[in-house]
């Protein structure tokens, strides 16, 4: 169900523009972009014939804006989400929900005082492969799930080196709080959200001052500022021990020298009757099981015309439907808080160099 009521996007950076495309694809074109850099807002708004405004107060005062996307640096998520909620707007809040579980709780307290819809931007749930994978699990094809693995390794993809992404005060952390929310939420979403009881994590930071000849790929959030801050981790691994003995492992890196594809990115789920792997950005889900006493491999393609490019379309269709029906269907604020609780525990484990209880 599409909803053509006014949509405002706070933040005219790369992710804000991705949201504009997803919203348009879902039949909900952006009405206005808001950014403190008015020229930047105007440039983002121009392809959509949208308005450009330079302050959230101006955007949120408009009666024709009923829904907003908060797509700004992590450190601004809490104040801007609360401001939008208190203005009576429905909110799609980019991940991570905030910098800490305590900040998430503050957002939820503000949300509880309103009738607004609050959806957190765990867009990987809406990837075509993720949707196929969930159907496989719901059918019981894998049997009892006992382990899962999530991997996302970039060869040279530090976002905005020297800018807010690599400044802990603004971001809350590095690769773990950047890629971690997507991976952790998706795995838990697929396998029934088991209770995470303990976490063990380790991290390193090696590429904050790369050699002059270092070639960046997948660089977004602005060109590198070699004189800027880099006080976050660029590689991390973790194990999550869940109730019932289920274990989840996580590997994430912004930068490595490993050739792409050497270790397959994606989600792997292990069950007593079968196993499954898929690349979130891919076009199929691979299932291995047994048929008639013989090992069998099954490659399940996504629907024709589907792929990662339609994930944001589905995310915005879900948001619009929730707003139209006044009933939340997408990732909730409670989901965002639970993921942040796990992330907080991971950072405590890294600092203490030992596993920690949630």
| Per-residue model confidence (pLDDT) at position 53 | 98
Distance CA 25, CA 18 (A): 11
Nearest to 304 by CA among 178, 136, 118, 132: 132
Of 99, 122, 145, which residue sits at a domain end? 122
The answer on pLDDT for 221 being more than 80 is no
Domain-located, residue 192: yes
In angstroms, rounded to a whole number, what is the distance separating the alpha carbons of residues 209 and 207?
5
> At residue 148, what are phi and psi to the nearest 5 degrees?
-150, 155
Mean pLDDT, to the nearest integer, of 7-27? 96
Residue 272 pLDDT > 90:
yes
**Structural domain boundaries enclosing 117:** 7-122
The 10s digit of each residue's pLDDT in 315-357 is 999 999 999 999 999 999 999 999 999 999 999 999 999 999 9
pLDDT of residue 1: 44
Q: Are residues 241 and 351 in the same domain?
A: yes
What's the angle, vertex CA 104, arms to CA 169 and CA 315, rounded to 5? 100
303 and 167 in one domain? yes
Query: Which tokens is 221 given?
Result: 């959030």
Give the total number of structural domains in the chain: 2
Q: Which residues are CB-neighbours of 28 under 8 A, at least 6 positions away? A: 2, 3, 4, 5, 7, 67, 316, 317, 320
The runs of H, that is alpha helices, within the chain are 14-25, 38-45, 56-60, 77-86, 101-112, 128-138, 168-171, 175-178, 180-190, 311-325, 333-352
Q: Label residue 160 by pLDDT band (50, 70, 90).
A: confident
Quote the mean pLDDT of the chain. Answer: 94
Give the pLDDT score at 5. Answer: 64
**Residue finishing a domain among 97, 122, 147:** 122
Q: What is the CATH number of the domain that holds 247?
A: 3.30.360.10
What's the CA angle centered on 286, arms 284 and 291, to 5 degrees? 135
Query: What span, in angstroms and rounded, lies between the C-alpha atoms of 201 and 16?
Result: 31
Q: How confident is the model at residue 76 (pLDDT cuts 50, 70, 90)?
A: very high
Evaluate if residue 270 carries a pLDDT over 60.
yes
Q: What are phi and psi of 344, to 5 degrees?
A: -60, -40
Q: Give the domain CATH number at 59.
A: 3.40.50.720
Of these ranges, 1-15, 46-60, 198-212, the one predicted with the greatest mean pLDDT is 46-60
Residues 216 and 67 in one domain: no
pLDDT of residue 2: 46
């Amino acid at each position: 169900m599409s909803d053509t009521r006014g949509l405002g996007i706070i933040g005219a950076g790369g992710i804000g523009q991705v949201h504009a495309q997803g919203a348009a694809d879902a039949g909900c074109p952006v009405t206005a972009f808001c950014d403190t850099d008015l020229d930047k807002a105007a440039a983002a708004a121009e392809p959509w014939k949208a308005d450009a405004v330079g302050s959230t107060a101006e955007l949120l005062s408009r009666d024709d804006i009923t829904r907003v996307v908060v797509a700004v640096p992590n450190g601004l998520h809490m104040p801007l989400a609360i401001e939008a909620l208190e203005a009576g707007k429905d909110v799609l809040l980019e991940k991570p929900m905030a910098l800490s579980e305590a900040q998430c709780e503050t957002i939820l307290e503000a949300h509880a005082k309103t009738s607004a819809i609050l959806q957190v931007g765990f867009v990987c749930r809406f990837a075509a492969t993720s949707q196929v994978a969930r159907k496989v699990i719901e059918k019981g094809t894998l049997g009892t799930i006992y382990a899962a693995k999530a991997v996302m390794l970039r060869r040279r993809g530090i976002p905005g080196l020297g800018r807010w992404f690599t400044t802990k005060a603004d971001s809350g952390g590095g690769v773990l709080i950047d890629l971690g929310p997507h991976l952790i939420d998706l795995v838990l979403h697929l396998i029934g959200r088991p209770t995470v009881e303990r976490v063990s994590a380790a991290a390193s930071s090696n590429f904050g001052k790369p050699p002059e000849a270092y070639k960046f790929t997948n660089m977004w959030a602005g060109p590198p500022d070699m004189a800027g801050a880099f006080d976050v981790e660029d590689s991390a691994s973790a194990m999550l021990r869940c109730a019932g003995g289920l274990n989840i492992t996580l590997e994430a890196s912004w930068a490595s020298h490993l050739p792409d594809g050497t270790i397959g990115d994606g989600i792997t789920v292990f069950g007593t009757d079968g196993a499954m792997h898929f690349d979130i950005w891919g076009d199929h889900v691979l299932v291995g099981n047994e048929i008639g006493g013989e090992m069998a491999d099954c490659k399940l393609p996504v629907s024709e015309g589907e792929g990662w490019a339609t994930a944001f379309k589905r995310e915005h269709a879900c948001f619009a439907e929730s707003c139209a029906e006044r009933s939340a269907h997408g990732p909730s604020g409670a989901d965002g808080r639970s993921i942040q609780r796990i992330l907080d525990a991971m950072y405590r484990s890294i600092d203490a160099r030992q596993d920690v209880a949630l």
